[in-house]
Amino acid sequence: MMKETKDMINDRDLWAGLNNPDLSVDEADIVVFGLAYDGAASFRQGAKDGPKSIRGITYSITPTTEDFELLDSLKVLDLGDFHGDDQIALFDEVKEKVSEIVRKKKFFTMLGGDHSTSIPIFQGIDDALDEPFGIIHLDAHFDLNDQLAGSRLSHGCPARRSTELKNVGSADNIYFVGIRSVEMDELDFMKNNKVNVINARKFNEIGIANAIDEVCEKMKKFNHVYVTVDIDVLDPAYAAGTGTPQFGGLSSRELLEFLRGIFKLPIIGFDVVEVAPNLDSSLTSSFAARKIITECWGHYSRNIK
């Protein structure tokens, strides 16, 4: 069985000093964990090192948002990383942990890993709930393949796997934002299934405010919404360290403003995946992920006050 690594959990300087390893899940406001796995990447690997890279640059920041709001009252518990070579066993363990966290109604953040690491997150949420939930999928890719490179657990399949869950049921529970690439299998899927999408070109055309309104109007019917952020939703100019970059993506400001806007929804957690530090010596993707995480924690904190 795979186990959570505890090698970093005793470091109280993590996450701008917010991490408190003495907390239980029940006592925490935010639960963080990594899924250090990239064995399902179809192109360039390195995302397994994303969690370590992101955490490694959280020592030097202050516990504030970009609007200078203090986050020092947040109780953060970092569980460390799940890792292992057996994808099925690893994902089963993560699914159980996520189900526990969701049942306890704790807001959580997962650090990937390639995008296949979102699959056990969706499964854990599904197990914990008895009603439909929504997914906002921020990515350059749909990830709607039934299989990719012969695997149904590829990083190109998490959205498709989510449509098979009892509390998702179809692509209509998902909103895709920032897409600018498509596979033939996905085109076939789209012929027979409703797919909600604001691709990168349309995002630029309608603007941030309209994109927020469109997504929130669709997602407001759900009592639980999960957000998955593939770092390649950003243009490679803003996040070069990722396995399958696509030219023409969102800017860093567009992404931050969009995330701020959608937090009017009942978001229960989010992930940031596909950060591959080995592919960018400047660590642009790691720094982008850190900013995404701390700003989203600020939005969550603002909503619970």
Q: Do the beta carbons of residue 292 and residue 255 sit within 8 Å?
A: yes
**22 CB-contact burial (10 Å; exposed 0-12 / middle 13-18 / buried 19+):** exposed
Say whether 228 sits in a helix, a strand or coil. strand
Tokens of 169: 């049921």
Please provide the average confidence, as pLDDT, over all residues in the chain: 93
pTM of the predicted protein model: 0.95
The answer to whether residue 3 scores a pLDDT higher than 80 is: no
| Distance separating alpha carbons of residues 186 and 237, to the nearest angstrom | 27
Residue-wise pLDDT tens digits, 61-96: 999 999 999 999 999 999 999 999 899 999 999 999
Cα–Cα distance, 254 to 142 (Å, whole number): 19
- Contact by Cβ (8 Å): 209, 252: no
What pLDDT does residue 147 have?
82
Question: Would the CA dihedral through 151, 153, 155, 159 be positive or negative?
Answer: positive
Q: Is the pLDDT of residue 304 over 80?
A: no
Query: What pLDDT, in 10s, does the model give residues 184-236?
Result: 999 999 999 999 999 999 999 999 999 999 999 999 999 999 999 999 999 99
CATH topology of domain 14-304: Arginase; Chain A (3.40.800)
Pairing of strands 174-177, 196-198: parallel
Picking from 258, 240, 271, 259, the residue whose alpha carbon sits closest to that of residue 298 is 259
* pLDDT value at residue 305: 66
Torsions phi, psi of 289, nearest 5? -60, -45
**Spatial distance between the Cα atoms of 300 and 259, rounded to a whole number of angstroms:** 11
pLDDT-derived band at 303 (thresholds 50, 70, 90) equals confident
| pLDDT for residue 125 is more than 60 | yes
Beta bridge partners of 35: 82, 112
Percent of residues in the chain assigned helix, strand, coil, to nearest 5: 40, 20, 45
Instruction: Tell me how far apart the alpha carbons of residues 13 and 114 are, in angstroms, rounded to a whole number.
Output: 26
**12, two tokens:** 């109280």
Hey, is 219 helix, strand or coil?
helix
**Integer Cα distance of 65 and 68 in angstroms:** 5
Phi, psi (deg, nearest 5) at residue 232: -80, 5
